[in-house]
C-alpha cells in the first residue's frame, strides 16, 4: 500500500498479531551533503512528552521500558506496542538536518523521503510513504505518526515541514532543550562539556553532538548501570563520482575507504578486525567487536559500521579504530570523512578526518581505552603507510603478513 | 451519545433527537503547527427546494453570505486558521422557521484552496464536522474528517430533510471532487 500525505491505515487490522512495527527511513539521492537525524517523540493525548525521556534521538536511543528503539544507523525505529506505557497515545517520527539553518541547507536538496512501515525487515512492508521534497525550504520534517484509535494502532503519513530544526521541533512537543546547535554561536574548539546525557527528568536535554576537534582531545563515557549497550562506530565519506567539468571527470573517482580496528583484550589477546583477510570479529564471542559486511560497490550510502558489544567492555583493554584506502591513490582530502561513535543514552561523538596526508594509505582515527570501566575516546587522526607502522605506533604487537580482500 | 456515522447512514431525528428544534452544525480543527499555508476549512449550507436546487443565490449560506433572507439559517463567521477552543465555525439552523418550500438543507465542508495548497483533511489536525442540538448541547452526529475522510478535500457532510412532517438527517459523508465551486454548480448556484 502506498500512502499519500494525510492518509492513515490501521496496523492492527492489517496485521492483527503484530507485536511490533518498524519504521524505516530512507532518502534520495543517497549521496548527500546533508547530515540527517531521525527522532521520535512519544506523546500523551495532550500532544506533549511526559518528560525528556520521551524524546528518542541520537543522544537517547531507547524509551524506558524498550517500547521505542532507534537503530544504531539512525534509520529505523522499532516500536513494541506491549512495552509502551498506556499514557503514550502518539509517536511522531521526524527527520531533521543537522545544523541545516546554519549551513543554509534544506530538504529541497533531497528529491524524496521514503518511510516503510513493516513488521519484519525480511517481508514486504505493510505500507510505504514516499514524499517528494523538491521545493521544501524546511530543515525539519514530520514524516508520520503512530497513534492509538479505538483500541487499534494506526499510522498516518504526515509529510509536513517544520520551521526551525530539531531544537524548535522538540520544544514544540514539550521537551526541555538545553542547547540548540543550529542557532548557537559557531562551535568553539574548547574542551567539550564533560557531562554527558544528564538525567532526563532533572536537567534539560542536550542536543549537542560532541565534536572532538583537536588531535589528542578526549572524552570519557561513564558507565551507567549494567554496561554500555551496543556502540556503533560509523565511517562515512564523500564517495566521489560526479565531478563537474573536464577536470572533475578526470580527477574525481570513487574512493573506497575500509573501516577496521586493532584491539587488545584484558586477557592479553590482540588482533585486527577488518575486511582484509575476512576478519570480521564477533559481538557475542571475543573480541566482542564486529565489522558489518563490507560493501565494496560503494553503494552503501551510510558508509561502514563497526560495532562493539559495550556490555562486554570489561573484557576489552583498548581499541584503535582506523580507516584504510585499499585501492587507488590515497586521496584523504577529497573524502571529507566523518567518524561518529554512538552509544545508547550517551552523547554522540564526532571526529572529522582533517589534517590530511595524501601520501599515506592508513589513518588512525580514534583510540577507545578502558579506564576504570569507562570508555575514554581520544581523537588520533594520524596517518601511516601500512598496518605494521600503525601497530608499532600504538604498541599492539601484532605479526603482519600481506593479505587481500578478493 | 453521538452516533458515529457511516457513509449514507440515515438518522431519524425523531428517534435520536426528538426535541431537536435548533440544529447547530459545528466544524472544528487545530491550527497548523507545521510550516506552510494555514489550513482554512469552510462550512457552508445550501437551502434546497424539492427539485434539489436553490431558489436563488441567497439560499447559499457561506463565509460571504452569513444569513439566509428569513434568518432561519445563520453562519457564525469564517475562522481562517482553526485557532480557538471548540467549534471553529458553526451554522445554526432554526428548524421551526425554515420556509415551507425549503425541503432540504445540505451541509458541506471544504478546504479553501486545497489544490493550490496541496492539502487534504488528513493533513489537518483533529478536523471534524458534527450536528449538535443547540438547545440541549447534545451531539447528534459527528464525522471525523482527518481520520475517516483523510484523503478528501471536500465533502457533503449531511442533509437535513423533511419527511412526513418531521426533519430527518442523512449522514452523507461523501467526498466530493472539485471543491466548493463544483458543489455550488450542482445545487444550482450561479458562479
Q: Shortest Cα distance from A149 to chain B (angstroms)? A: 9
C-alpha distances out from residue A192 to A61, A206, A231, Å: 21, 12, 20
| Domain total of chain B | 1
Residue A139: predicted pLDDT: 92
B191 part of a folded domain: no
Residue B13: predicted pLDDT: 64
Q: Summarize pLDDT for A279-313 with one digit per residue, the tens.
A: 999 999 999 999 986 554 444 567 889 999 999 99
The DSSP H or E segment spanning A389 is helix A387-394
Q: Summarize pLDDT for B28-58 with one digit per residue, the tens.
A: 998 888 888 889 999 999 999 999 999 999 9
pLDDT band per the 50, 70, 90 thresholds, residue A194: very low
Q: Based on the domain organization, do A216 and A360 belong to the same domain?
A: yes
Q: Which among B33, B36, B120 has the least Cβ separation from residue A6?
A: B120
Q: Summarize pLDDT for A13-69 with one digit per residue, the tens.
A: 777 667 899 999 999 988 888 889 999 999 999 999 999 999 999 888 899 999 999
Q: Which among A6, A137, A163 has the least Cβ separation from residue B151?
A: A6
Asked whether residue B66 carries a pLDDT value surpassing 90, the answer given is yes
* A162 contacts B147? CB cut-off 8 A: no
Quote the CA–CA distance of A227 and A221 in Å, as a whole number.
Answer: 11
Asked whether residue B160 carries a pLDDT value surpassing 60, the answer given is yes
Q: Based on the domain organization, do A389 and A300 belong to the same domain?
A: yes
Where does a domain end: A172, A188, A220? A172
Peptide bond into A275 cis (omega under 30): no
Q: Based on the domain organization, do A238 and A166 belong to the same domain?
A: no
Choose from B31, B33, B35 for mutation: most chain A CBs within 10 A. B35
Q: Based on the domain organization, do A263 and A123 belong to the same domain?
A: no
3-state secondary structure of A400: coil
Question: A132 touching B, CB under 8 A?
Answer: no
Asked whether residue A1 carries a pLDDT value surpassing 80, the answer given is yes
Q: Which among A156, A161, A163 has the least Cβ separation from residue B122?
A: A156
Where does a domain end: A149, A172, A195? A172
Q: Which residue of A has its CA nearest to B153?
A: A6
**% chain A with pLDDT above 70:** 86
Which among B95, B163, B91, B166 is positioned nearest to B131, based on CA atoms?
A: B91
Asked whether residue B106 carries a pLDDT value surpassing 90, the answer given is yes
More confident site: B92 or A196: B92
Quote the CA–CA distance of A38 and B99 in Å, as a whole number.
Answer: 59
Residue A300: predicted pLDDT: 56
More confident site: B54 or A135: B54
Q: What is the CATH number of the domain that holds A246?
A: 2.60.60.30
**Cα angle for residues A310, A313, A317 (degrees, 5° grid):** 140
Residue B8: predicted pLDDT: 58
Where does a domain end: A142, A172, A202? A172
| Domain total of chain A | 2
Count of other CB atoms within 10 angstroms of residue B154 = 23
* A162 contacts B35? CB cut-off 8 A: yes
Choose from A1, A6, A46, A174 for mutation: most chain B CBs within 10 A. A6
Asked whether residue A145 carries a pLDDT value surpassing 80, the answer given is yes
Q: Based on the domain organization, do A151 and A219 belong to the same domain?
A: no
Q: Based on the domain organization, do A253 and A340 belong to the same domain?
A: yes
pLDDT band per the 50, 70, 90 thresholds, residue A217: confident
Question: A7 touching B, CB under 8 A?
Answer: yes
Asked whether residue A200 carries a pLDDT value surpassing 60, the answer given is no
Burial A304-332 (b: 16+ CB within 10 A, else e): bbbbbbbebbeebbbbbbbbbbbeeebeb
Q: How many CB pairs under 8 A join A and B?
A: 44
A66 part of a folded domain: yes
**Cα angle for residues A206, A207, A213 (degrees, 5° grid):** 100
Asked whether residue A254 carries a pLDDT value surpassing 70, the answer given is no
Q: Which among B35, B118, B150 has the least Cβ separation from residue A8?
A: B150
Q: Residue A119 is part of which domain span? A: 2-172
DSSP string, B68-133: -TTSSEEE----SS--SSS-SEEEEEEGGGS-TT--EEEEEEEETTHHHHT--GGGSTT-EEEEEE
Residues 6+ apart with CB under 8 A from A329: A358
* A156 contacts B151? CB cut-off 8 A: no
A400 part of a folded domain: no
The C-alpha cell at A375 is 570508555
pLDDT band per the 50, 70, 90 thresholds, residue B98: very high
Peptide bond into B36 cis (omega under 30): no
A125 part of a folded domain: yes
* A7 contacts B151? CB cut-off 8 A: yes
* A161 contacts B34? CB cut-off 8 A: yes
Q: Based on the domain organization, do A377 and A270 belong to the same domain?
A: yes
The C-alpha cell at B57 is 443565490
Cβ atoms of A233 and A341 closer than 8 Å: yes
pTM above 0.95, yes or no: no
Residue A404: predicted pLDDT: 56
Quote the CA–CA distance of A115 and A24 in Å, as a whole number.
Answer: 6
Which among A203, A158, A175, A166 is positioned nearest to A44, based on CA atoms?
A: A175
How high is the mean pLDDT of chain A?
84
Q: Shortest Cα distance from B151 to chain A (angstroms)? A: 6
Q: What is the CATH number of the domain that holds B43?
A: 2.60.60.30
Asked whether residue A207 carries a pLDDT value surpassing 60, the answer given is yes
* A163 contacts B150? CB cut-off 8 A: no
Q: Residue B139 is part of which domain span? A: 3-31+38-186
Q: What is the largest CA-CA distance in chain B?
A: 51
A110 part of a folded domain: yes
Q: Based on the domain organization, do A154 and A235 belong to the same domain?
A: no
Q: Which among A4, A149, A161 has the least Cβ separation from residue B35?
A: A161
Q: Which among B34, B118, B150 has the least Cβ separation from residue A142?
A: B34
Amino acid at each position: 500500500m502506498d500512502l499519500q500525505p494525510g492518509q492513515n491505515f490501521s496496523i492492527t487490522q492489517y496485521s492483527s498479531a503484530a507485536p511490533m512495527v518498524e519504521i524505516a527511513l530512507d532518502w534520495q539521492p543517497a549521496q548527500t551533503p546533508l547530515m540527517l537525524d531521525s527522532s521520535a517523540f512519544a506523546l500523551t493525548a495532550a500532544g506533549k512528552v511526559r518528560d525528556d525521556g520521551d524524546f528518542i534521538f541520537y543522544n537517547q536511543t531507547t524509551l524506558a521500558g524498550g517500547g521505542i528503539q532507534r537503530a544504531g544507523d539512525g534509520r529505523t525505529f522499532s516500536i513494541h506496542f506491549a512495552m509502551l506505557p498506556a499514557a503514550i497515545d502518539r509517536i511522531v517520527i521526524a527527520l531533521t538536518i543537522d545544523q541545516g539553518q546554519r549551513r543554509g541547507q534544506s530538504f529541497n536538496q533531497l528529491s524524496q523521503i521514503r518511510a516503510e512501515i513493516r513488521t519484519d525487515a525480511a517481508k514486504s512492508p505493510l505500507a510505504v510513504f514516499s514524499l517528494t521534497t523538491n521545493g521544501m525550504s524546511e530543515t525539519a520534517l514530520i514524516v508520520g505518526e503512530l497513534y492509538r484509535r479505538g483500541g487499534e494502532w494506526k499510522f498516518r503519513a504526515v509529510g509536513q515541514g517544520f520551521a526551525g530544526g530539531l531544537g524548535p521541533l522538540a520544544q514544540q512537543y514539550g521537551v526541555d532543550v538545553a542547547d540548540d546547535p543550529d542557532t548557537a554561536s559557531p562551535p568553539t574548539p574548547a574542551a567539550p562539556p564533560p557531562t554527558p546525557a544528564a538525567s532526563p527528568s532533572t536537567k534539560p536535554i542536550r542536543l549537542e553532538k560532541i565534536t572532538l576537534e583537536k588531535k589528542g582531545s578526549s572524552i570519557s563515557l561513564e558507565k551507567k548501570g549494567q554496561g554500555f549497550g551496543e556502540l556503533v562506530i560509523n565511517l562515512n565519506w564523500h564517495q566521489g563520482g560526479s565531478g563537474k567539468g573536464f577536470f572533475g571527470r578526470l580527477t574525481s573517482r570513487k574512493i573506497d575507504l575500509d573501516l577496521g580496528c586493532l584491539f587488545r583484550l584484558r586477557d592479553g589477546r590482540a588482533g585486527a578486525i577488518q575486511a582484509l583477510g575476512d576478519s570480521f570479529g564477533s559481538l557475542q564471542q571475543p573480541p566482542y567487536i564486529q565489522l558489518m559486511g563490507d560493501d565494496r560497490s560503494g553503494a552503501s550510502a551510510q558508509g561502514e559500521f563497526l560495532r562493539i558489544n559495550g556490555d562486554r567492555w570489561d573484557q576489552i583493554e583498548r581499541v584503535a579504530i582506523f580507516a584504510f584506502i585499499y585501492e587507488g591513490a590515497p586521496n584523504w582530502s577529497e573524502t571529507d570523512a566523518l567518524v561518529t561513535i554512538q552509544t545508547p543514552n550517551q552523547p554522540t561523538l564526532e571526529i572529522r578526518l582533517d589534517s590530511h596526508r595524501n601520501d599515506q594509505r592508513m589513518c588512525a582515527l580514534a583510540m577507545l581505552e578502558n579506564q576504570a570501566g569507562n570508555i575514554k575516546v581520544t581523537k588520533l587522526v594520524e596517518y601511516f603507510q601500512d598496518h605494521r607502522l600503525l601497530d608499532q605506533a600504538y604498541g599492539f604487537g601484532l605479526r603482519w603478513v600481506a593479505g587481500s580482500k578478493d | 451519545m453521538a452516533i458515529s456515522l457511516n457513509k449514507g447512514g440515515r438518522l431519524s431525528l425523531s428517534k435520536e433527537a426528538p426535541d431537536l428544534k435548533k440544529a447547530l452544525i459545528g466544524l472544528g480543527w487545530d491550527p497548523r503547527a507545521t510550516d506552510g499555508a494555514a489550513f482554512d476549512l469552510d462550512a457552508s449550507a445550501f437551502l434546497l427546494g424539492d427539485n434539489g436546487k436553490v431558489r436563488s443565490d441567497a439560499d447559499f449560506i457561506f463565509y460571504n453570505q452569513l444569513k439566509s433572507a428569513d434568518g432561519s439559517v445563520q453562519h457564525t463567521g469564517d475562522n481562517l486558521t482553526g485557532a480557538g477552543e471548540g467549534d471553529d465555525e458553526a451554522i445554526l439552523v432554526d428548524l421551526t422557521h425554515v420556509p415551507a418550500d425549503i425541503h432540504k438543507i445540505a451541509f458541506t465542508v471544504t478546504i479553501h484552496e486545497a489544490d493550490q495548497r496541496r492539502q487534504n483533511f488528513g493533513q489537518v489536525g483533529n478536523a471534524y464536522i458534527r450536528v449538535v442540538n443547540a438547545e440541549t448541547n447534545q451531539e447528534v452526529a459527528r464525522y471525523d474528517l482527518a481520520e475517516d475522510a483523510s484523503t478528501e478535500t471536500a465533502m457533503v457532510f449531511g442533509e437535513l430533510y423533511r419527511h412526513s412532517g418531521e426533519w430527518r438527517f442523512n449522514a452523507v459523508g461523501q467526498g466530493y471532487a472539485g471543491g466548493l465551486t463544483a458543489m455550488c454548480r450542482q445545487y444550482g448556484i450561479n458562479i
